[in-house]
Chain A
Amino acid sequence: MSSVESIPGPKIRKKVGTDALIQRGFIVVIALYLIITLAFPLYAMLSKAFEVYNYDLSQFSVQASDEEGNFTTGPVTLLDLNAELGLLGDSDMAAKGDGRLSLTQFFPDFSFRSPVMYRVAGTDEKSVFLVGSERHVGTESVEVDSNTFRKVVVRPVKSRGMSNFTRYFSTPALFRSIGNSVFIATVSTIITVTLAFWFAYALSRSCMKYKGFFRLVAMAPILVPSLLPGIALVYLFGNQGILKGLLMGQSIYGPIGIVIGSVFFTFPHAMLIIGTALSISDARLYEAAVSLRASRWRTFWTVTIPGARYGLISAAFVVFNLVITDFGLPKVIGGQFNVLAVDIYKQVIGQQNFEMGAVVSVVLLLPALLAFAIDRQVQKKQVAGLTARSVVFEPKPDRKADTGWLFYCSLVAVFILGIIGICQMAALIKFWPYDMSLSLNNYAFDRMDGGGWAAYKNSIKLGLLTAFVGTVVVFLGAYMVEKTSDFTKGRSGFQMLAMMPMAIPGMVLGLAYIFFFNNPANPLNFIYGTMAILVVSTVTHFYTVSHLTAVTALKQMDTEFESVASSLKQPFYKLFARVTVPVCMPAILNISIYLFVNAMTTVSAVVFLYSTDTALASIAVLNMDDAGDIAPAAAMGMMIFYTNAAARLLHAVGSRAILKRSEAWRQR
């Protein structure tokens, strides 16, 4: 083979044609979109994590009088005073934004009853200290008596450093959440993957009846916000729960509740991935196993499990990631069991401690990124393993086993339908448990906090806008990456950007948006608090899966269409409109419905971004539950469920119609 050598003559630089120019324009615009909606906010968040507050003792001086009120000694800066007394170390200088340092501690023999007077002054024009809540700015000194001196405090000033992290890791209440989150995610993953595996196994490897029904039921949890199972669990296992006895005295508020709820909402994701893995297993291997007289158990371990291993690993990481980044469920049912995602919320919304929120976000980002990276590796391997030509496995009826599978799948279905059913019941009961009569009172959302019916309308609006804008942006982006020939570096950079959102937890994204878009210096500041920022954040949050769907569809198209069109001197957009879009229509519809459903159910990113005018149904569920209005929360959750179910139905009907119409030319 030829090796490195220098090529003589001048290098040819391709003349950039109109098409290529427009395409480059698109790539740049969409890449810019991702940079602005992803890279910049994340950077803003990272830098926020290093924003610290410290007391600057050199900014203030104090002077104390003698017992008669005569000032005999000159003013001393707090810095000198502290050095003299050896009172506060460097670590004591770190504070929260609303931290206050009292000055009395610098006078060991201070008594508020003593007649000593104090003079406090700043050392430069910008020094600010407080007497009570009164601000004193500049170098003018203020004289106060001992009693008032108790109220003199100084505020910390902003600087940069690592102390937020030090503080995080020295606060048990905070860093213990790491263990809690990992614990919850691990346990949920093991349970979900196991349950989903056997469920998918029954669907693909048995001749059990009602497979279509079970498949449908297994997908239902995707249609509801992750906090809905939490609400259901309150009604099932809470102090007034109908099944409370089953817990044997354990509280549902805590890890038990989070795990059960997580199993519910991650089940369909795991089932889909494992189902795909099982469906591509090769029947010939089973025939070989039978001819070798291998026992069923042996066949299972030597053929089934290795065949599905990439699916299992991938499902495990997806579930792990979903659970560890989920915020809604632990918020509702977590009780005192702190997890990372809820910590972010508590820091930001509860304590307005944005810096610590950013620190927790960074901490949460790590396991999420790790799980994501491993999953990507595994996915690559699975694709490689797929190339072999295999024969589809046809299960044979086995009455005993099939009955067993039917029983098992029914149990899972009862679990899923039970959770949804109990929410519906709760929504319709007037005042559980004291007045069990049916009423629609809980649907009078306008009388509750959370945004009322307007929130529901906003959610639909968000869903539609996200589906529309998202599909256009995602599909165009994927097309540019997949189907243009030059600008290689730009395209690979874009590809990387497009994969990133999957690794970014929604809470982190939402918080990053606050830092970036709520910055007055940002020219895009005006979208803060509007529907636009909700749409942008939701599109970005769910970008990766949509992008991959689009890329897969585009990859299945002949790679030479673009060459043919350009040889025929037709602009790429004509080809795009007349061929690419119609051929990819099923995928485009899938992306739309995916975005719509997720926009309806998402809580994590938008919880930091909604405003009064743009309250959302999913947020309303959260806030109503938060305020103790659990039944209306369940009612709103069910509204989301019905809306998503209707959207799905519409999507199915629409897809079928399109497939029917294109039957003549679609061979796949």
Chain B
Amino acid sequence: MTTFLKIRDLWKSFGQFVALRDISLDVIEGEFLCFLGPSGCGKTTLLRAIAGLDIQTAGTIHQAGKDVSNLPPAERDFGIVFQSYALFPNLTISENISFGLENAGKNKAEVKKRVDELLQLIGLPEQRDKYPAQLSGGQQQRIALARAIATSPGLLLLDEPLSALDAKVRVHLRHEMTELQRKLKVTTVMVTHDQEEALSMADRIVVMNHGVIEQVGTPTEIYTDPVSLFVADFIGEMNQVPAEVTKEGEVRVGNRTLLCRTGDFAPGSKVIAALRPEDVIPHDKDVRLPGTPDVIETLQNTFDVVIKEMEFLGSFWRTSVSDEEAEGLDLTADFSINAVRRLSLAVGEKITVELPADRLKAFSETSGAEQ
């Protein structure tokens, strides 16, 4: 695992506004890295700094061991794909793809061969003499990708490449692009605000907010173990309940005490206890078998709640439940169709739920960025 791109102490300001604040990051050779965050978080700014399109105010960038910090784009080594495709409208598909190949020491036959190869690679060999406007959005974006990788750059930068496409095409292209990237083994940095896209495509995700990196990690790490409420909230859904740490590994919500990962919080700290909706486990009423010790008693963080609302979302039911004994403990829970059928859940029913102690986590009340 060699570091391909080394970013250190990067700052970028636009007048009074600081867009990037002390960013340090390593991008590993061959990996697919995603910058994820809400709009205005600085992810595109960071990408443009890496490309040299908008040079950083301070800090360094090394690419493949070479200091590229102050180089103009033309002296760096990357290919780029934009949300708008930025295909040259008056050039044919093959002219678009070969744009970067001309005067790069290749003769005509070589150029043609490379273009054919790329068209094959993206699966559009028939379209070579058409103009961009004659192709669909998805096809255009694939052409843009082919153009970007035509010169075999060491780094592929993707700036929200799929955002302009409709949902179906987007999902399809996600898959294709990931595959292509794995095949070419080109180090790739993609900017997106779509968490699903990031989770499904990236090897690692960099979550950004307000110009700083909140968390870097694999999709699973980011999802299952967010370091801040912001990350937790931005990626997937999160139940958030105000709580107070009673002792290490325990919080009180209303009048109910729950086991919880409290981390470094000292007893008495006001925190937010958070849990993903799908982590709420519904239990069969039958766990309480006659003659046996009360199973519920032995299960941690398990109690009864009333179902307030149910919304069918296709693959699961989004359910609002309320703990009538502990004030303020209203949760959203995602129950699978199977569970709902098996437990015959319905609005108004009382059910038993478990909040797994290892999934419940305490976060500071303020968002991570300001820490």
Q: Mark A residues whose CB is within 8 Å of B.
A: 1-5, 7-20, 485, 558, 560-561, 563-571, 575, 578-579, 582-583, 662, 664-667
Contacts and interface: CB of A to CB of B under 8 A. Distances in A.
B58 A12 contact: yes
B72 A665 contact: no
A9 B60 CA distance: 10
Contacts, number: 131
Interface string B290-322: 000000000000000000000000000000000
Given A2-B21, A560-B84, A485 B89 contact: no
Interface of B: 9, 11, 13, 16-18, 21-22, 51, 53-60, 69-76, 78-80, 82, 84, 86, 88-91, 99-100, 102-104, 131-134, 147-148, 150-151, 153, 157, 210-211
A565 B72 CA distance: 12
B84 A583 contact: no
A567 B88 contact: no
A9 B9 contact: yes
A583 B90 contact: yes
Given A8-B9, A11-B57, A570-B100, 14 more contacts: A12-B57, A15-B72, A20-B72, A560-B82, A564-B86, A564-B147, A567-B74, A567-B78, A568-B99, A568-B100, A582-B90, A583-B89, A665-B89, A667-B133
B86 A569 contact: no
B53 A12 contact: no
Query: Which of B21, B57, B99, B104 counts the most A-chain CB atoms under 10 A from its CB?
Result: B99
Contacts of A568: 79, 99-100, 147, 150-151
Nearest to B131: A665
B104 A569 contact: yes
Contacts of A662: 90
B67 to A, nearest CB: 11
A416 B210 CA distance: 62
Contact of B86 (A18, A20, A560): A560
Contacts of A17: 71-75
24 contacts: A3-B18, A7-B58, A8-B11, A10-B58, A12-B58, A12-B69, A16-B72, A17-B71, A19-B72, A558-B86, A563-B53, A564-B82, A564-B86, A564-B148, A566-B72, A567-B76, A567-B157, A568-B147, A570-B100, A662-B90, A664-B134, A665-B132, A666-B90, A667-B133
B80 A563 contact: yes
A9 B86 contact: no
Nearest to B68: A15
B212 to A, nearest CB: 9
A1 B133 contact: no
A2 B369 CA distance: 11
Contact of A567 (B89, B131, B148): B148
Contacts of B90: 578-579, 582-583, 662, 665-666
Nearest to A585: B90
A596 B17 CA distance: 46
B18 A485 contact: no
Contacts of B16: 3-4
Contacts of A571: 74
Q: Which 7 A-B pairs have the closest CB atoms?
A: A568-B100, A17-B72, A665-B131, A560-B86, A566-B73, A2-B18, A9-B58
A7 B57 contact: yes
Contacts of B131: 664-665
Given A7-B11, A563-B82, A578 B74 contact: no
Contacts of B51: 563, 567
Contacts of B150: 568
Nearest to B157: A567
Contacts of B82: 558, 560, 563-564
A1 B14 CA distance: 13
B91 A579 contact: yes
B12 to A, nearest CB: 9
A501 to B, nearest CB: 30
A569 B74 CA distance: 5
Contacts of A14: 55, 70, 72
A86 to B, nearest CB: 65
Nearest to A581: B90
B70 A569 contact: no
A17 B211 CA distance: 28
Contact of A2 (B17, B59, B89, B153): B17
Contacts of B76: 567
B74 A18 contact: yes
Contacts of A19: 72, 74
Contacts of B79: 567-568
A13 B57 CA distance: 8
Given A5-B18, A9-B59, A564-B86, A485 B53 contact: yes
Given A567-B148, A569-B100, A569-B151, A561 B53 contact: no
Given A2-B211, A12-B55, A561 B100 contact: no
A528 B137 CA distance: 57
B11 A9 contact: yes
B79 to A, nearest CB: 6
Contacts of B69: 12
B25 to A, nearest CB: 16
A559 to B, nearest CB: 8
B133 A665 contact: yes
- Among A11, A568, A579, A582: residue with most chain B CB under 10 A: A568
Contacts of A13: 70
A147 to B, nearest CB: 79
A565 B99 contact: yes
Contacts of A667: 89, 133
Contacts of A575: 88
B157 to A, nearest CB: 8
A12 B69 CA distance: 7
Given A13-B70, A558-B86, A564 B57 contact: no
A567 B13 CA distance: 23
A666 B80 contact: no
Contacts of B210: 1-2
A570 B95 CA distance: 14
A492 to B, nearest CB: 13
A464 B11 CA distance: 52
A303 B133 CA distance: 37
A1 B88 contact: no
Contacts of B103: 570
A664 B100 CA distance: 23
Contacts of A2: 17-18, 21, 210-211
A145 B106 CA distance: 97
A583 B132 CA distance: 13
Nearest to A564: B86
Contacts of A583: 89-90
Contacts of A4: 16
A568 B157 CA distance: 12
A11 B58 contact: yes
Given A15-B71, A485-B53, A570 B80 contact: no
A575 B103 CA distance: 13
Contacts of B73: 17, 563, 566-567
Contacts of A20: 72
Contacts of B53: 485, 563, 566
Contacts of B148: 564, 567
Nearest to B13: A7
A37 B53 CA distance: 34
A12 B56 contact: yes
B56 A666 contact: no
Contacts of A582: 90
Given A2-B17, A7-B11, A567-B51, A558 B72 contact: no
Nearest to B98: A568
Nearest to A18: B74
A50 to B, nearest CB: 39
Nearest to A561: B86
A7 B59 CA distance: 10
A561 B147 CA distance: 12
Nearest to B76: A567
A2 B79 CA distance: 32
